[in-house]
Structure 1
Amino acid sequence: MTVEVVPVPAARRQTLHFLRFAEAAAPVHLDTEVDATALLAHRVRGRRYSVVSYAMRALGEVMPGFPEANAAFAGSLRPRVARHAAVDVKLTLDKKVDGTRSVLSVVLPDVDGCTLDHLQNAVERLRDTPVGEIRELDGARALQKLPLLVGRLAFALANRLRGRHTRMGTVALTSLGHAPVRRFFSHGGTTVTIGLGRIAPTPVVVDGEVVVRPVLPLSLTFDHRVIDGAMAADLLTALKTTLEATGAGDVDGVGAGDRAGTA
């Protein structure tokens, strides 16, 4: 048998730097299920928004109520926490770089001040723009060009506590909804990482009867260095409630929260 040993592609160097950074965390995982009936109905009545856009809007609504979770951690002998007033979402992207499939990420700032249309516009731009033209990926492209040890140092310097939210966000969001994935748990380098699976028809009990509803798997990974399980469970419950209420009180398929305000 012939074994080929090759260098790790440069397109994956930023992932290696991130994983080394993320090793210090103490991740704990929770999950729940979202009844997506109202969410899907909202998509039918109006613009076909991405589930990711709904999730970002929900994070913008929920995270300000959990300031301890909208935070970042650093230090060992002198542990410190940076708490953020705004909600900046780190969104992962599945892109090909020089023929190599790679996970990249961008930060969408101030999602707590964004409309659903603004978030959807951002999702569509990131989805449809060639990877070499996405300006938010300039930093990742620079890391891919640096020797490994130099890139590791550059990554660490760029993600120091005070300014980390500009590159890592204050909360991470990742989705595998394109595949038949029910449960997955990811640590995105932030205190809270939200994972989305694929919406699928699922038997559930409603008022004592078994019915089939579209169910969205929703996971939450939290860094135990920053918050505890009780708060994480409350946050996950609030996200579930917010997503299930999507479309409530809407007029002509447009949410009340979408009629005013821009990012």
Structure 2
Amino acid sequence: MLGWLLAAVSLLWVLAERKTTRPDGTLVKTHPYRQMLPYLAPKPNSAITYYDEYVQAEALLAYIEASRELGKDVDVTDCLLAAIAVALDEVPRLNRFLVGRRLYQRHARKLSFSALRRKKDRGAEVSGVHLTVDDGWVFDDLHHAVQRLIAVERSGRRTYTDSELRLTLALPRPLLALTVAVLKWLDAHNLLPASFIDRDPLFCSAFLANLGSIDMRPGYHHLYEWGNCPVFVVAGKIAPMPMVEDGAVVVRQVLHLRLSFDERIDDGLNASDAVNAAKAVLEHPFARLGCLRADGSDRVPLHAPPQLPHAG
């Protein structure tokens, strides 16, 4: 009897090891060197790369002001999420993730961001909120989706994440540790249910923390050992900063970004291209985000190819 049980367990283990399909991505075949990387650097923080980027923000501030004059409560977080969405579409190799030492192309642009549960309250709890950017969305669609999600977090109602955390934290610590280990094993073998993945903000293309909303400078953030988020973006407060232009020092309003990137998903050249794509959106928001004209003639899809910038 024991022999049959061991044989059944062994067969199930082999089948689990061979399963390559999962609900949030498609397996990618890459160069042998990149296939070897997850074995040489098995955790995301053993392959983390940091980027510093400075965005000239005068046009961004003007765009936000123009939007608010039209009654839209647009902010820097909205624009950052839109810029990340466009960058992921222009450089789709960055919309990948590693799980079970295999590389997958993510099916959608899923973005997560941190939000205070009470507006402008530095002591309020922070929630991780996530949304999936539809291919047909324009900036207004993303803005309204963000507003709806934040409204839910600030409503005082218990969310799915709240209920999930209450349930898991009620477990004894050894059992909780075992539960997390089992969930990680299921994820590594592509057995985690789609409903679980869809609701967890750490299963995402990129995570944004806009510390400028609470007047903080940006810091470099680690990558979590849970989920499959390969990019973490931290934004600071827009502030005046000296910059060199044509050999002269000028003072500009600057948005300072710091990014953490898991280099196992792709090389630094493509990561740099994605950063430049996001920067172009933020520095030319009137052309790249649009949605300010009453007739809707400037509705620019968030998957649009690069356009020549023009004045707002």
TM-score (norm. length: structure 2)? 0.64
Q: For the aligned residues, what is the CA RMSD?
A: 3.2
Corresponding residue SS for 1:204: strand
Query: In the alignment, which residue of structure 1 is the partner of 2:218?
Result: 183
Shift of residue 217 of structure 1?
0.7
SS at match of 1:247: helix
Residues 57 and 114 in structure 1, CA contact (< 8 A), matched pair in contact too:
no
Structure 2 CA distance, aligned partners of 1:117 and 1:147? 45
Alignment check: 8 A CA contact 2:137 2:301 kept: no
- The equivalent residue for 1:87 is 109
Match of residue 146, structure 2, among 118, 123, 148? 123
Kindly report structure 1 stretches of 4+ aligned residues shifted beyond 6 Å.
none
Q: Within 1, Cα distance between the matches of 2:233 and 2:81?
A: 10
Give the equivalent residue in structure 1 for 2:76.
51
Aligned-residue offset at 1:258: 5.5
Task: In structure 1, list runs of 5 or more residues that go unmatched.
Answer: 1-22
CA distance in 1 between partners of 2:264 and 2:140 (Å): 35
Aligned match of 1:256: 298
Which of 207, 220, 236 is the aligned partner of 1:172?
207
- The residue matched to 2:50 in structure 1 has which SS? strand
Alignment identity in percent?
A: 28
Largest Rg, 1 or 2: 2
Shift of 1:229: 2.2
Match runs of 1:6-155 below 5 Å:
24-25=43-44, 26-46=47-67, 47-75=72-100, 79-95=101-117, 102-110=125-133, 112-128=135-151, 129-135=154-160, 137-155=162-180
Residue number in structure 2 paired with 1:12: none
Q: d(CA) in 1 for partners of 2:234 and 2:82?
A: 15
What's the CA shift for 1:245?
1.1
Worse-superposed segment, 125-134 or 176-185: 125-134
SS at match of 2:207: strand
- Looking at structure 2, the residues matched to 150 and 101 of structure 1 have their Cα atoms a distance apart, in angstroms, of 30
The residue identity in structure 1 corresponding to 2:102 is R
Give the whole-Å Cα distance in 1 for the aligned partners of 2:302 and 2:93: 28
Report Cα offsets for 1:48-98 as digits up to 9, x if no partner: 4121111111122110232222122123xxx201211310002123448xx
CA–CA distance in 1 between the matches of 2:138 and 2:180? 32
